[in-house]
Structure 1
Amino acid sequence: MSYRTSPSADYVEDVSPGRGALPPRAWYASSDAPSLSLNGSWRFRLSATADAEDDAFAEPGYDAGGWAEVAVPGHWVLQGDGAFGSPIYTNHLYPFPVDPPHVPTENPTGDHLRVFDLPSDWPSDGGAVLRFDGVESCARVWLNGTELGEFKGSRLPHEFAVGHLLKPGGNVLAVRVHQWSAGSYLEDQDQWWLPGIFRDVTLLHRPAGGVGDFFVHASYDHTTGEGTLRVDSDVDGRVTVPALDIDIATGESVTVAVEPWTAETPKLYDGVLATEGERVPLRIGFRTVVLEDGLIKVNGRAVLFKGVNRHEWHHEKGRALDLETMREDVLLMKRHNLNAVRTSHYPPHPAFLDLCDEYGLWVIDECDLETHGFTEQDWRDNPVDDDRWTPALLDRAARMVERDKNHPSIVFWSLGNEAGTGRGLTAMAEWIHDRDPERLVHYEGDWNCRDTDVYSRMYAFHDEVDKIGQRLDGGTRKRRELPFIQCEYGHAMGNGPGGLADYQELFEKYERLQGGFIWEWIDHGVKHPELGYAYGGDFGEELHDGNFVCDGLVFPDRTPSPGLVEYKKVIEPVHIEGDGANGIVRVTNKQDFADLSALAFEWSCQVDGETVESGALAVPALAPGESAEVKLPEPPVDGRGGERQWTVRALLADDTLWAAKDHVVAWGQFAAGARPLPSFPATDRPVREADRITLGPAEFDARTGALRSIGDVEVSAPRLDVWRAPTDNDAGAEWQTDTRYGMLWRTLGLHRMRHRLVSVEAGDDALTVRTRVAPAAREVGLDTVYRWTSDGERLRLSVSVTPEGDWTVPLPRLGVRFGLAQADRVEWFGGGPGEAYPDTRTASMIGRWQSSVDELQTPYLRPQENGARADVRWVELGGLRIEGDPEFWFTARRWTTEQLDAARHRTDLTPGDTVWVNLDHGQHGIGSQSCGPGPLPQYFLKAEPAEFAFVFSTTT
């Protein structure tokens, strides 16, 4: 159905970008001209439709005393405790009828009012512009009763000339903001729909003869070590760079010796652009971006992107980010070895790009464009292939490029995301190539690479990426000659992503593969008083995509997830591997530009996970790509006969902008000797006494063979367990129905296995319990034998599992589960400190670790399997010490797996009196099938015969 507003609001459904705004220009701060922030508390009135109220509020003298107040920057649906509506989350479905350019009559409209005075020292000469950095989705603006115009393009700047309208006091700024507009069809970007003035509003004085627009061209010649600077300016002036003794007129070029800018060495030179009426500070980075030899090269060298996609998000303020939050993002990225960010799927707040320049991150700057919802109708009526919309598309491209063109961190302009293909995209690409030939153009949806300079894909499976690396993927001739990046991969939703190390191995194997960008940076959970964090559907949305909006490497409060810790290890800029038996470590510099002079290396030797000696390790300042073998010192003399290993770390040698001295950049571990396995002779025999059987320190139920206690520790009987609360990646994407193992496991009934007792046999040296474990309604099963032995003090459980029937799916897990009445502190020797699974264990460091049971849990927004520690040799908790033969996966939590499975939010989990412990022989891999590939075959937990054992003893 099509809806129309009254003629007074026809602009809402106009496909044009708007009217009245000034042409786009570079974003900069003046050294001379004052500015006035209009951020703060604004009067606010919400209407249900676009034309529900008249325009009288824009007139001076209007009484808005009865209006509510909202904070600007901000989104009104995140303020007012629900009085102003609620957020809506959809991945790609439009939350209104697809009838372009029309939008519903039910169109929440927020009237914003701000009265302000000019500072007493505000200049009387020159002019002024009013700048909006971001308003969703359509705004109409008045100043002192005069209409300035209206605009669309939510994440783009818009300026209006207002100098002639200003007065010393009592200026009335009125802004009408509509949630839905024709522009909404271009902003379907897998995020919360959040109306409001969410970026800064600023009044800027523009002095006579002041700076207008300018373009800094600063290239670098890697063969000579020289940089060439030219600043094109709308207003003539001079450019000075004191550190380089540069003093030239605008439009002139100068070539001097410089240090280049790279993400690893972000050298910036301070300069000044001075016109007759104004001085503007410049931060200049010299670098050259080219497509050469089928590769993306910066300063003559191919770049490997180790990146992430970043939506702007704050768990309380939505997309209204302050500078310190943006800085926190950049610091976390740098500290976790990321070197690149794609600004999905719109230009970020401009201050974020300043931080990327300063700290060093490669940037793909993406246009505010996505029309993903048109895929539901096979892209029919898609605006990007409709000439009527092309002016709006070109306006969005121009506002991105002109605003951001002076940032050395930006190496790619991206046309947008998931908008199909069409003439409008071609027009954008042609305009950008003409305006800025010094950068490359990206767009993932252009698989034939008609308009782009790189072959880009999302979520290509490992085997396809391997073929692409070998140039065996076909496609057009142009595509075959272009480099490849994964602009999205490793979907970081819930527990995961898995398989990152396997992707990185491919990226480093083939020259054509130039890395990728994890989806995505942050979980978009909304802080909620009852739910902890809310996601799609928690606000009663008519259409929603659940927790698909929670798919980040950091949690909503920016706490790193295990996925980010894993990614940091996978993309380390230094590779450390060793031969522990011969005392040799091999160090490889994996950086693209910097040598290793900024790093210091140290070695340590551990026995049973405890460091017995450590020291500095002399490693040469290897150039990029170079390797060296370094001799380790003689192993320390230690009387213990435990498991020995070496650990070598690469640390920052000095403080940097982004981390302090001794920050760990990379590490490697390698064994110096084999682990002695736990064993003892079975000297005790089981003794039956009435309704119980005793064996060494243990007591069993004589009828069922179930363990009751070990010494003074009460134990809920261990028994075979194969179920885990499916992860988001287990659940899989709806379009991959044949391999969604979470669904297949549930269909098979693995979440409701039944245990049939076959026999309890008390022999001369062992208690043997035979069972069959199987799901109702199915003929498959697992014959399971528990064999208990003891030497009088310790108790050994050997488990033998034999599958029966035709198992067509892998198992979620394979091990035993039992309960402890009391347990809190946990100590273990094995992988840590965080969780790990078969294809997410690269960052798991072998050592001695301690934690509480509660701290073992990973707080995914939708509860799911979490918290396993890998390669555990022994664990102590609740008065027990448990050793594994072989190493095992360990999990402990205060709720059952079934309770974890049933929960939708963390607040649904109520700790019980029992701590449930899993000792797993195997776990199925994780993958990233929530929007990508599942686990690779080598990480499948196949239903096949298995034997494993545990040794129990008390710690008191």
Structure 2
Amino acid sequence: MDLETFSPGSGRLEPRAAFRTDAPSLDLNGTWRFRLSPTANVPEDFAGPDYDDSGWDDLPVPSHWVLHGHGAPAYTNVVYPIPVDPPRVPDENPTGDYRRAFDLPEGWTGGRLRFEGAESFARVWLNGHELGFSTGSRLPVEYDAGPYLRPGRNVLAVRVHQWSAATYLEDQDMWWLPGIFRDVTLTRSAADVFVRASYQDGRGTLSFDGPGTLSVPELGVEGLEPGAEITLDVRPWTAETPHLYDAVVTCPGETVRLRVGFRTISIVDSVLLANGRPLLLKGVNRHEFHPEHGRAVPYETMREDVLLMKRHNVNAVRTSHYPPHPDFLDLCDELGLWVIDECDLETHGFGGFGWRGNPTDDPRYEDALLDRMRRMVERDKNHPSVIMWSLGNEAGVGRNLAVMADWTRERDPSRPLHYEGDWSCAHTDVYSRMYASHAEVEAIGRREEDPLDDPELDARRRQMPFLQCEYAHAMGNGPGGLAEYQELFERYPRLAGGFIWEWIDHGLTHPEHGYAYGGDYGELVHDGNFVIDGLVFPDRTPSPGLIDLKKVFEPVTFEFGDGVVRVVNGHGFTDLSHLRFVATVQVEGETVAEHRLDVPAQGGECKLPGFPDGPGGERWLTVRAELAADEPWAPAGHEVAWGQALLTLHDPAPNDLLTAFTRTATEPAGGEVIDAGVVAGGESRDGGESRDGVGLRYGGGAGARDELIAGDSAFDAVTGRLVRLFGTEVEGPRLDLWRAPTDNDRADGLADKWHRLGLDRLTHRVDEITAGEELVVRTRVAPAATNLGMLATYRWTFDGGLRLVLDIEPEGDWRDPVARIGVTMTLPGAAVDRVTWFGPGPGEAYPDTGMAARVGRWSATVEELQTPYVRPQENGHRADVRWAELGGFRVSGEPTFGLTARRWSAAELAAARHRPDLVAGDRLHLHLDLAHQGIGTATCGPRPLPAYDLLARRTTLRLRFDRA
């Protein structure tokens, strides 16, 4: 068999719709016999029904053979893992042979063998007779099995080659995972049905193509003939109100059941509309992925994905970059998600060669590309959730796009066409981009984008809605800038929203690394952890990015005034009657009052009840919108949206009883520069009595450290560094300007700049220590090999607690942002198990992330404070903390600070490649920060907005330490 053929297949039946049918069928999933060969040139005798496969292995179907000990996975983003020489493929071509024996039920006649997905080239035999071959890995194919079926025992044989000419069409930023990874069925169903159900002004119009007659009992429709059209009162389908009608098509030999949703997608004056109303897509890109099963995703996992999306206010999915398992679209119909269904096409790797030889523009590949488009459209045409067809992804431009688009428009004019790869939009109905900056998105919203060279195409494109099919790359810590993008989408009607890249981290379960990414299987060519770029971790635990996205996508917002709250309904297709609203007042994070609010169904201003006076401190009002009753996607009480307002800010009386670091009796007035320490209750250096129980002396005995003591805290007299805090041995605090780089820091080039600048290897020089009514430690902090530095002056005072005022002044020409400005200190690991804090929480937050963090009182173990990114990096920062209790002491900000607590250092965090590399040490590493550099989304997309750049400047950090 010629694997280098341009043909998409042979022996296949015409593509048709996926649906439920009462026609008899046999599920051929299960345990198959399997043999892997390193090359494609293997004898075909295995296809014979009497072939002895007793020496073969067992392999589950659906599955990928590389996830069951046969070879290994490989990940690339753009580059091909084989030489780029279409349609040629290497001799080293892993080839999997499958055999499955099954018994045909008595009386069975005819039937079709249906394969939902096999990667990348599958050739099929039944009882030794070749039925044909097919490409298009993520699309169904059917063969006529009837002539070759036998009563009793039958043997199905399949040969799957990993590499073929079709491989050049499937360069889709994912693991290369060969095998039969979707369902295999023998069915006697032969019907095809195309139901058209539109909606306008409260009325639905219904018709269908296919054999038989259509009935919709709930609507009183009985025996509708093909081609006939009927208009009637219906409830529309939307992602917010996914109302479906059970329909039955009575066909010769079978009864087809499907669910009909009435909806119309249109474009008017550059605005995308659903049922005549503007449609704002709050979407995610979704690859099919499971950490153990790869793209063979169980149905239960698909359902949990959709539920998780709905619970986080996601309303749309782009099926990047291929049609999903048909069950996923059923779930989108049922639970409510708008879907862009994308063709199984990407040729990204040709971009590195100026798109020379690109199959998109190669007429020899025309049939293959059209075949993929036809099979997707025919399979998924009855899904109301599918609102656009996408021609593919990152496949450049070329003549074959026109062929695909022309056929699709003729077959289904009811859905707009999408394709991002051609910015001229010559063959599409929407203008789509990836990772456009905030400024460019705003220009497009205002219809002020840069013009195309062709005036006609330019004028046409300016009448199109705009969407970001990918934006805000969710790789590692991030993405930043979500709120600013959403504000633009909501401000300009032309902007139809977009899709975050992407839903899930593609980390494969690995015995050593926990989760593997590119390179962990010894691949010679790979793209590292670029496949770890999801809103949920591989086990589908939400990342901070998803928690933030829920807040940004909220369909209800709150505007607070004097004694009132204005509730704004952001739903596109429903009112607020399904929600209940609760107002809570907390003082210093403790609840003092809670009331239900009477909010009009359409939203509007609502008077707040009076709240009783309480103890002093910050008084925060939180209003929550919750589900009033169970919904199919979440139970009653599920929080949909929330807002907060500060009612009062308690201002404690200034502290004027500063008694720390009192001079000894023999010290000159005004304090002096010292080179020795102070011990409580000790003698002065000349033997005199100390005042207030504080004194200075040299030494401290053989091997002892000279100390400066205030109460039960102590400082090293030589370095001026705190060494004991309320009886606990500590090291620090001292100025810190570095963090373990995030994926976005690396992509932005900041990580390299910080390393070249030496922020990860700062040296600290003590210039002067002065003890008087305050302890003043003047230092210069700087890396080697540079003339840049920071003057850091620590001013300590004591009144039963320690107060630190740290003045920071840059020296030299600091041009690039620094990672952080703050202090770091360590203490015994056993001293702190749990941290309690008052401020935003419960999750992490950075300058351009953390929108979901709300002010309250929170508590977590040190382990729970960590965000377990698959590739370790800076994480776990709690921003704007008012106070935090850590074991035996409390640290407070004046007014706030940033808090991070870990059982490993920043250097250890930066060196780790996988989660298991991080091993808890015997010290707790505490970061108390004034500010952090923004996160951005530079792994793909813009770096942090200028407002979030942390530039070196003169500034002051104020902290206070008290015994807890």
TM-score range, shorter chain: over 0.9
> Greater CA radius of gyration, 1 or 2?
2
Q: Decide whether the 8 Å contact of 2:815 with 2:951 is kept in 1.
A: no
Q: Residue type matched to 1:945 in 2? A: R
| Residues 1:69 and 2:58 are matched in the alignment | yes
| Residues 1:172 and 2:158 are matched in the alignment | no
Offset at 1:164? 2.1
Q: Residue type matched to 1:676 in 2? A: D
Show the counterpart of 2:815: 808
Q: Distance in 2 between matches of 1:592 and 1:578?
A: 23
Q: Residue type matched to 1:354 in 2? A: D
Q: Decide whether the 8 Å contact of 2:474 with 2:534 is kept in 1.
A: yes
Show the counterpart of 1:449: 425
Offset at 1:682? 4.6
Show the counterpart of 2:245: 269
Q: Residue type matched to 1:493 in 2? A: M
Once the two structures are superposed, the pairs formed by residues 143-222 of structure 1 within 5 Å of their partners are: 143-206=126-189, 212-222=191-201
Offset at 1:675? 4.4
Q: Residue type matched to 1:794 in 2? A: G
Show the counterpart of 1:41: 31
SS of structure 2 residue aligned to 1:23: coil
Q: Residue type matched to 2:316 in 1? A: A
Residue identity (%)? 60
Offset at 1:677? 5.9
SS of structure 2 residue aligned to 1:173: strand
Show the counterpart of 2:612: 636
| Residues 1:478 and 2:460 are matched in the alignment | yes
Show the counterpart of 1:463: 439
1:56 pairs with 25, 45, 50, which one? 45
Once the two structures are superposed, the pairs formed by residues 482-521 of structure 1 within 5 Å of their partners are: 482-521=464-503
| Residues 1:590 and 2:570 are matched in the alignment | yes
1:731 pairs with 736, 739, 746, which one? 746
Offset at 1:29? 1.7
| Residues 1:893 and 2:902 are matched in the alignment | yes
Q: Decide whether the 8 Å contact of 2:317 with 2:499 is kept in 1.
A: yes
Q: Distance in 1 between matches of 2:231 and 2:97?
A: 53
Show the counterpart of 2:79: 93
| Residues 1:602 and 2:582 are matched in the alignment | yes
Offset at 1:949? 0.9
| Residues 1:865 and 2:862 are matched in the alignment | no
Q: Residue type matched to 1:21 in 2? A: R
2:13 pairs with 22, 34, 37, which one? 22
Offset at 1:747? 1.5
Show the counterpart of 2:392: 416
Show the counterpart of 1:6: none
| Residues 1:709 and 2:724 are matched in the alignment | yes
Once the two structures are superposed, the pairs formed by residues 176-575 of structure 1 within 5 Å of their partners are: 176-206=159-189, 212-222=191-201, 225-233=202-210, 235=211, 237-247=212-222, 248-473=224-449, 474-475=451-452, 476-575=458-557
2:558 pairs with 562, 566, 576, which one? 576
Offset at 1:483? 0.9
Offset at 1:610? 1.1
SS of structure 2 residue aligned to 1:296: strand
Q: Decide whether the 8 Å contact of 1:684 with 1:696 is kept in 2.
A: no
Show the counterpart of 1:4: none
Q: Decide whether the 8 Å contact of 1:696 with 1:795 is kept in 2.
A: no
Offset at 1:310? 0.2
Q: Distance in 1 between matches of 2:502 and 2:343?
A: 17
- Structure 2 unaligned residues grouped into runs of 5+: 453-457, 662-694, 699-705
Give CA-to-partner distance per residue, 1:564-604, whole Å, 9 cap, x none: 0000000100011313xx22111101111111111110000
Offset at 1:678? 8.2
Show the counterpart of 2:108: 124
Give CA-to-partner distance per residue, 1:86-125, whole Å, 9 cap, x none: 10100010011110000000000000111111235xx434
Show the counterpart of 1:657: 632
Show the counterpart of 1:779: 787
Show the counterpart of 2:684: none
Give CA-to-partner distance per residue, 1:217-241, whole Å, 9 cap, x none: 001012xx110110110x2x11111
1:747 pairs with 753, 756, 759, which one? 756
SS of structure 2 residue aligned to 1:703: coil
Give CA-to-partner distance per residue, 1:805-845, whole Å, 9 cap, x none: 00011110111111120211110001111111010021111
Q: Distance in 2 between matches of 1:529 and 1:688?
A: 58
Offset at 1:702? 1.2
Give CA-to-partner distance per residue, 1:6-58, whole Å, 9 cap, x none: xxx31x1101101011110001121x21211111111111111111x211111
Scaled by the length of structure 1, what TM-score is found?
A: 0.95
Q: Decide whether the 8 Å contact of 1:677 with 1:885 is kept in 2.
A: no
Q: Distance in 2 between matches of 1:689 and 1:564?
A: 57
Q: Decide whether the 8 Å contact of 2:39 with 2:91 is kept in 1.
A: yes
Give CA-to-partner distance per residue, 1:842-873, whole Å, 9 cap, x none: 11111010100001000101110000011100
Range with greater deviation from structure 2 (768-777 or 338-347): 768-777
Q: Decide whether the 8 Å contact of 1:811 with 1:942 is kept in 2.
A: yes
Offset at 1:941? 1.1
Q: Distance in 1 between matches of 2:795 and 2:418?
A: 61
Show the counterpart of 2:709: 694
**Pairs aligned (count):** 915
SS of structure 2 residue aligned to 1:930: coil
Offset at 1:251? 2.1
Q: Decide whether the 8 Å contact of 1:643 with 1:674 is kept in 2.
A: yes
Q: Distance in 1 between matches of 2:697 and 2:206?
A: 92
| Residues 1:927 and 2:949 are matched in the alignment | no
Show the counterpart of 1:735: none
Give CA-to-partner distance per residue, 1:714-768, whole Å, 9 cap, x none: 2112101111000001111xxxxxx5212211111111111111111111x1001
Show the counterpart of 1:140: 123
Q: Distance in 2 between matches of 1:124 and 1:574?
A: 56
Q: Decide whether the 8 Å contact of 1:682 with 1:789 is kept in 2.
A: no
Q: Distance in 2 between matches of 1:383 and 1:95?
A: 17
Scaled by the length of structure 2, what TM-score is found?
A: 0.94
Show the counterpart of 1:13: 4
Q: Decide whether the 8 Å contact of 2:844 with 2:878 is kept in 1.
A: yes
| Residues 1:768 and 2:776 are matched in the alignment | yes
Show the counterpart of 2:862: 853
Show the counterpart of 2:674: none
Q: Distance in 1 between matches of 2:765 and 2:408?
A: 69
Q: Residue type matched to 1:831 in 2? A: P
SS of structure 1 residue aligned to 2:896: strand
The two structures, once aligned, show a CA RMSD in angstroms of: 1.1
Q: Decide whether the 8 Å contact of 1:678 with 1:883 is kept in 2.
A: no
SS of structure 1 residue aligned to 2:730: strand
Show the counterpart of 2:691: none
Give CA-to-partner distance per residue, 1:244-292, whole Å, 9 cap, x none: 0001122211111000000000000011000232111120000011121
Give CA-to-partner distance per residue, 1:305-357, whole Å, 9 cap, x none: 00000000000100001110100110000000000000000000000000000
Offset at 1:697? 3.3
Q: Distance in 1 between matches of 2:179 and 2:9?
A: 17
Change beyond 3 A, Cα 1:918–1:677:
farther
Q: Distance in 1 between matches of 2:76 and 2:252?
A: 51
Q: Decide whether the 8 Å contact of 2:478 with 2:936 is kept in 1.
A: yes
Q: Residue type matched to 1:13 in 2? A: E
Range with greater deviation from structure 2 (516-525 or 694-703): 694-703
- Structure 1 unaligned residues grouped into runs of 5+: 1-8, 733-738
Give CA-to-partner distance per residue, 1:606-655, whole Å, 9 cap, x none: 10011111010110001xxxx511111112222x1111010000000000
Q: Distance in 2 between matches of 1:156 and 1:743?
A: 43
